Amino acid sequence: MESAKLEVKDRTEMGSAASRRFRREGLVPVNLYGLARPPRAMVAGQHELEQLVDRGYHIVELHQEDKTQVVLIQDVQWDPIGSSIVHADFLRIDRDKPVHVYVPIRYIGMAPEVSGSNVEKLLEDIHIETLPLQIPDEFVINLSRLEVGQSITCGDMVMPAGCKLFGHHETDVIVVNHVKHGGGEAAETEGDESVEPEVISKGKGDDEA
């Protein structure tokens, strides 16, 4: 994926009160660090940054007055409702040094025998190590090739050139299980009598002794 552009400005005011002031003005406090150089505190436009993150960009070109530098979006902090970004971390990158990123998995097609199988997607992102300018947009898994009882592990994923899986190769990405018919739903809805739960008594062991 190509890199996106983002305008940033230096910030001198630090702390939670100043950060709240920035957010009220539609700005997000961001930090830039890495490559053994001193960290820098900056602000970026909230709307612009949210658009980049939602579109799945990893690499961003930071424009500051007349300077430009390519960075990796290292971390993004959302508010509790998840509607706006409250803080972001950018990592300085060396084009020849690999970085660690999560790449989303896109599932296409339908698993065969849907009625008799249960497709469990266990992973939505894969953690990989790759060069900053070779980060793939996504990994695609075709479900129509799967059969009941079959699974795909991280090790089965075909990695593009320059990408290396980071983590265990045995971790399941997707599993197609047999569905057990009958029983379940009927047993769950059976009877609605309210039985009081057992109370964990404190000195039970002492009483018995």
Sites of contact with other proteins (CB under 8 A): 53, 56, 58, 73-76, 78-82, 101-102, 104, 110, 114-115, 118-119, 121, 124-125, 188-192, 194-200
Please enumerate, as own/partner, the contacts of 60-67 that have beta carbons within 8 Å and a separation of 24 or more: 60/3, 60/4, 60/5, 60/6, 60/90, 61/3, 61/4, 61/5, 61/6, 62/6, 62/8, 62/32, 62/90, 63/5, 63/6, 63/7, 63/8, 64/7, 64/8, 64/9, 64/10
Q: Judged by CB, which is closer to other proteins: 10, or 106?
A: 106
Please tell me the total number of residues recorded for the chain in this structure.
209
Q: Judged by CB, which is closer to other proteins: 65, or 185?
A: 185
The 10 Å Cβ neighbour count of residue 171 is 14
Q: Judged by CB, which is closer to other proteins: 13, or 56?
A: 56
Give me the least distance between CB of 66 and other proteins, in Å please: 28
Give me the least distance between CB of 170 and other proteins, in Å please: 21
Q: Judged by CB, which is closer to other proteins: 13, or 61?
A: 61
Q: Is 24 helix (H, G, I), strand (E, B) or coil?
A: helix
Distance CA 68, CA 40 (A): 14
Give me the least distance between CB of 204 and other proteins, in Å please: 12
Q: Judged by CB, which is closer to other proteins: 198, or 208?
A: 198
Give me the least distance between CB of 127 and other proteins, in Å please: 8
Give me the least distance between CB of 200 and other proteins, in Å please: 5
